[in-house]
Amino acid sequence: MSNSFDLYALSEEHQAIREAVRDVCDAKVAPHAGDVDELAEFPKAAYDALKASDFHAPHIPEAYGGAGADALATVIVIEEVARACASSSLIPAVNKLGSLPLLLSASEQVKQRYLPPVAAGDAMFSYCLSEPEAGSDAASMKTRAVADGSQYVLNGVKRWITNAGVSDYYTVFAVTDPSARSKGISAFVVEKSDEGVSFGAPEKKLGIKGSPTREVYFDNVRIPADRMIGEPGTGFGTAMATLDHTRVTIAAQALGIAQGALDYALGYVKERKQFGKPIAEFQGLQFMLADMGMKIEAARQLTYAAAARSERNEPDLTYFGAAAKCFASDVAMAVTTDAVQLLGGYGYTHDYPVERMMRDAKITQIYEGTNQVQRIVMARQLLKGLG
C-alpha cells in the first residue's frame, strides 16, 4: 500500500478501504453489537466477518501473508469497526498491539513462526505488560524469567490482558535481570498451550464487555530461549516503542465510538418531535451537535496525522501518539455523554445504543496509558523540543 499521505485528503485507496469496512460492519458487525454487550461474549460473528475480509489483522506485512496495510489504513479499519462495535474493534487493535513487538524487534525466525497464523486468522495475539502492582509504572513488574540452559522459566501474573484466553499467542514482558530495573526486562512469545499458562475469570466491566479481560498466570512456564523478542534487556524499550505506535489505534477506536454516537444522535433528533416540531430544530440542541461534530473532526485530523508519523516512524511520534490518544478519548467521552443527553430518557436505556457507546468510551481514557500519563508524556516531549 502507498506510504504517502496528503494531509488534507485521503487517497482513493484509503477511501475504498473505509467503504469496504463500513459495508462489512453495517451488515455483519453492528447487528450483533447489542447482544455482544448484553451477553459479554466474544464477538465471534464479527471476527469471522473481519477475517473473511482480511480486516482482522490488516497491519501484518505481505511477507508474512498479511494485507500489508499501512498505519493510516489500519487506523481507518479500527475506526470503522469501533463505529459499529467497540468490542469488535479490539480484534484488529489488539492483534497489532500483541504482534508489533515482533515486527519491531524479533528475529526473522520468530516472525516467520508467529505472524503468518495471525495473518491467516488462525490465531490472535495479546500483549502482557500490566501487573497487579505495575500499571502506569510498568518498570516495577514482578514477573520473572530465569535462564535455565536453552530455556527460560517464567513465573508471575499479568493483569488487564485484553482478549486473554481467546488469543493463542502472548507477548510477555518479564524481568531477566532484577538489578537493572527497566534495562533488565526482556520480551518473550508465550503460547496459550504452554504448560503452566492459565487464566483468571473474565473481569466484569463497565464497557467493551465482548472483549474478554483476564489475568494471565505463569507457573514455571518453560520457554525456549529462541522465543525471546530481541536481545536480553531490550524488552522495556520494545514495549514503549510499541505503545508509541498503538496509542494511535486507541485514538482510532475512540474516534469510531464518537462517530457512531453522533451518527445515531443525528438520526434520532430528526425524528423525535416535541412542541410540534423535530427537536433538531431547537438551537440549544443544534449547538450540542455542532460541538460534537467539531470535536470529532479535530480528533480525526490529529489521529490521522499521528498515523502518518507512525508509518514513517518520525521522531515526534511519541508526542503525536500520546496527543491523539488523549484528545480522541476525551472527545469520545464527551460526545457519547452528549449523545445520551440528546436522546433524553431513551438514551439512558439499553434499548438504544448510545449508553453502550458511553460505557465503551470510558476505557479509551484509561488503557494503553491513562490520559494523565499521556499528558506527562506530551509535556516531557515538549520540554525536549520534540513536540
Residues 6+ apart with CB under 8 A from 30: 84, 85
**Do the domain assignments include residue 4?**
no
pLDDT of 2 over the 50 cut? no
Mean pLDDT, residues 20-28 taken together: 98
pLDDT in tens, 124-139: 999 999 999 999 999 9
Residue 246's DSSP bridge partners are none
Note the pLDDT of residue 112: 98
* Integer Cα distance of 300 and 320 in angstroms: 13
Number of domains in the chain: 3
Ramachandran bin of 221, using left for φ above 0, alpha for ψ from -120 to 50, beta for the remaining angles: beta
Q: Where do we find the cell 485528503?
A: 9
**Do the domain assignments include residue 178?**
yes
Note the pLDDT of residue 221: 98
130 in the same domain as 37? no
pLDDT of 14 over the 50 cut? yes
115 in the same domain as 135? no
337 in the same domain as 280? yes
Whole-model pTM: value is 0.96
- Among residues 196, 216, 235, the one where a domain terminates is 235
Note the pLDDT of residue 7: 56
Q: Quick one: cell of 374? A: 499521556
pLDDT of 1 over the 80 cut? no
As a whole number, the mean pLDDT across the chain is 97
* Integer Cα distance of 168 and 159 in angstroms: 17
Which pLDDT band holds residue 40 (cuts at 50, 70, 90)?
very high
Question: What phi, psi does 131 have (nearest 5°)?
Answer: -135, 170
- Among residues 172, 206, 235, the one where a domain terminates is 235
CATH number at residue 161: 2.40.110.10
Note the pLDDT of residue 386: 87
Whether 133 sits among the annotated catalytic residues: the reply is no
Note the pLDDT of residue 3: 46
* Integer Cα distance of 315 and 387 in angstroms: 9
Residue 171's DSSP bridge partners are 127, 189
* Integer Cα distance of 84 and 92 in angstroms: 14
Note the pLDDT of residue 9: 83
- Among residues 119, 143, 158, the one where a domain terminates is 119
Provide the domain limits for residue 291.
237-383
82 within 8 A of 89, measured Cβ to Cβ:
yes
**Do the domain assignments include residue 26?**
yes
Mean pLDDT, residues 347-376 taken together: 98
**Which of 80, 131, 311, 368 is an active site residue?**
368
